[in-house]
Structure 1
Amino acid sequence: MSSAIDVRGLHKSYGDKAVLGGIDLHVAEGTIFSLLGPNGAGKTTVVHILSTLATADAGEIRVAGHDLHADPEAVRAAIGVTGQFSAVDGLLTGRENLIMMADLHHLGRREARRRAEELLAQFDLAEAGTRPAMTYSGGMRRRLDLAMTLVGSPRIIFLDEPTTGLDPRSRHTVWQLIRQLVADGVTVFLTTQYLEEADQLADRIAVLDVGRLVAQGTAEELKRLVPGGHIRLRFTSPEEFALAGRVLPTALPDNESLVLQLPNDGSVHSLRALLSRIDDASLEVDELTVHTPDLDDVFFAVTGQRTAHETEPQNEGASK
């Protein structure tokens, strides 16, 4: 696939502090790429550099086919940025916010109004378009912020933690909007505090830790990096539990809860083999559950830290 973003050997320091220690990234056109990492890992710095809001100390960077160092204006014309903090003006109506953004893109008056109405409808804000943005809910403000990013019809959108602070319903609404953008051919570069968000949306994921990429791949590829998949068998009868322990001697028993835990990769083949052994021994299993590593496990394994949503969020810096 054609490249939307290519990065090789990206370095960035602030004074004596190295923030990015030489990273390589490839983002294919028309896909969602998610950058994960603990607070302070350098995610926002990457977004700032790729969107021309900060300069790199070293590295080769191409965005939308343009050399970022040689032609930053061409890069700016091809991208949109939605940061951690909303760019919405609360005193203006939703429509006025969009028209103001259209003016910044040098659209004519008629085209600005047409584009504003189009985006209000697309983001389900048509009825609220005449109200001041300060009256919007958090989810509505975030949708308006995203709509403002799209006024110039960018080919690539940088979304820096776009759903932080939103309730689950609003978060899912933003996810649907992101999926639709990609279906329309837009490339999305996403940083997020939520592991589930990356799992749900991203075609490829990279994990950044202390300024270095420690893992890259699809969600499924990353999950396979982590051992620990298992199957839990729960019994109601102590006799059945004891018999199962003899039939499955490698299982780890929990005598108190009458549970056996067996290492298992969750594949159909291994699950079928286990069920055959249970059936052959005529075991009466009350409950069977399968656990495979998720992105939380991957995050902890490759960074040595708890997932971002298990700690109090701390912003890395302003994104606008």
Structure 2
Amino acid sequence: MAYAIEAHGLRKSFQTHEAVRGVDLAIRQGELFTLLGPNGAGKTTMIHMLTTLLRPDEGTASICGYDVVKDAAVVRRHISVTGQYAALDESLTGWQNLTLFAGLHGYSRKDAHALAAELLGSFKLEDAGSRTVGTYSGGMRRRLDLAAAILPAPQVMFLDEPTTGLDPQSRRELWAAVRHLVKNGTTVLLTTQYLEEADQLADRIGFIAQGKVIAVGTPEQLKASIGGKTLTIRLAEGTDLAGICHLLANEHGLTAHSEEDGLTVKAAVPEAALAHAVIGNLISQGIMIDDFALNEPNLDDVYFALTPDRGNGNEVAT
């Protein structure tokens, strides 16, 4: 099988802190692979090594078969990197930005004009092509930034939290643009704060924690790996959520976590009968429950199962 990105035993330390601890990774050509993990997990360090910005202390990595250390210049010709902030000139129109980038990449004036028009259409920006970028919404800027990033026709694109700060509609517009890249054969390595985004986009997901990749699989495989169902309990205002989590652990053997809203507790349960017993127990002890539900697990549940010592909420920071 052909791999666009490979890493074997990658390690990187900063003074006494080992940020990446022997990571192995293999990402197929044309795949959209998402890297998820909590703060300080090593995602950014991994991206910097794979894009030749940092030299590994140990191990090897390659992009399209080229070593990121020995063949760094060649690797850079095969990749493109897009981050959270669009690298665009706001005083120029969308069309002018693209023709400028095309010229910098060696396209003739005629070819640059044709390519700019094609990209504006591909990323659904043709109606905004004559407007200055300063008038664009956040989502439009990110789509234009993606269009500019694929001008050199990269085989591999690294997207580092490209939707951070965007409203839901703009995020979905960018998702469509990313799917377009993958459909046309580009391999994408995406880091994101949003578990929903990984679920929607990824062919496969890698969870990284404390510098190690601890799980890799399709979204469906990862959800199935934790087994059973997820019990979600919404409690009355003022309930001691930490106390409820301890109760579920001590009396039912469940690992529970509280959501950032301060009212909701979630726990994986192996069977529905146990969920019924939990609810009955809470009610018998006079604990006020506003609502509860038993659902199939989602990536939030996978995240908390893999990183049980982490904080609350439904986002993963980098």
TM range, normalised to the smaller chain?
0.7 to 0.9
Number of the residue aligned with 1:59: 59
- The alignment status of 1:305 with 2:310, answered yes or no, reads yes
- AA aligned to 1:296 is D
Taking structure 1 as the reference length, what is the TM-score of the superposition? 0.77
- Summarize the Cα distance change of 1:108–1:293 in structure 2 as closer, same or farther, 3 Å threshold: same
What is the DSSP-based 3-state SS (H/G/I as helix, E as strand, rest coil) of the residue aligned with 1:179? helix
Q: CA deviation at 1:205?
A: 0.6
- The aligned amino acid for 1:181 is L
Q: 1:208 to 1:308 in 2, by over 3 A?
A: farther
Change (3 A) 1:215 1:186: same
How far off its partner does 1:202 sit? 0.8
RMSD, aligned CA:
2.6
Deviation at 1:256, TM superposition (A): 9.9
Partner secondary structure for residue 154 of structure 1: coil
Q: Deviations over 1:110-152 (max 9, x none)?
A: 2222211111111111222222211110111111111111111
Tell me the residue number matched to 2:253: none
Residue identity over aligned pairs, in percent, reads 47
Instruction: Give distance in 1, aligned partners of 2:312 and 2:195.
Output: 8
Match of 2:299 among 292, 295, 304: 295
When residues 249 and 130 of structure 1 are mapped into structure 2, their CA distance, relative to the original with a 3 A threshold, is closer
- In structure 2, relative to structure 1, the CA distance for the partners of 1:177 and 1:30 (3 Å cut) is same
Deviation at 1:165, TM superposition (A): 1.1
How far apart are the structure 2 equivalents of 1:16 and 1:289?
46
Cα distance in 2 for residues equivalent to 1:309 and 1:87: 29
Aligned match of 1:281: none
Structure 1 gaps of 5+ residues are: 233-247, 259-287
Cα separation, 2, equivalents of 1:47 and 1:307 = 26
TM-aligned CA deviation for residue 15 of structure 1 = 2.3
Distance in 1 (CA, whole Å) between partners of 2:14 and 2:102 is 34
**TM-fit CA distance, 1:18:** 1.6
Query: Is the partner of 2:40 in helix, strand or coil?
Result: coil
TM-score by length of 2: 0.78
Distance in 1, matches of 2:193 and 2:278, equals 36
Question: What count of residue pairs does the alignment treat as equivalent?
Answer: 271
Q: Aligned residue for 1:169? A: 169
5+ unaligned residues in a row in structure 2: which ranges?
233-271, 284-291
Q: Equivalent residue for 2:140?
A: 140
Give the letter for the 1:142 counterpart.
R
Instruction: Give, in whole Å, the separation in 2 of the partners of 1:193 and 1:249.
Output: 34
Residue identity matched to 2:56:
A
1:185 maps to what in 2?
185
Counterpart of 2:212, as a letter, is R
CA distance in 2, matches of 1:155, 1:102: 17
> Cα offset for 1:46?
1.5
Q: Does the aligned pair in 2 maintain the 1:29–1:187 contact within 8 Å?
A: yes
Deviation at 1:100, TM superposition (A): 2.4
| In 1, Cα distance between equivalents of 2:104 and 2:54 | 20
Alignment of 1:236-251 (within 5 A): 251=276
Match of 1:126 in 2: 126
Shift of 1:29: 0.7
The 1-side partners of 2:313 and 2:181 are apart by 26
Greater shift, 63-72 or 222-231, is seen at 222-231
Partner SS state of residue 87, structure 1: coil
- The answer (yes or no) to whether the contact 1:32–1:182 under 8 Å persists in 2 is yes
Tell me the distance in 2 between the aligned counterparts of 1:91 and 1:68.
36
Secondary structure of the 2:39 match is: coil
Please report how far the alpha carbon of residue 309 of structure 1 lies from its aligned counterpart in structure 2 after TM superposition. Answer: 4.4
Say if 1:299 and 1:305, in contact at 8 Å, map to a contact too.
Answer: no
Superposed, 1:198-213 pairs within 5 Å as 198-213=198-213
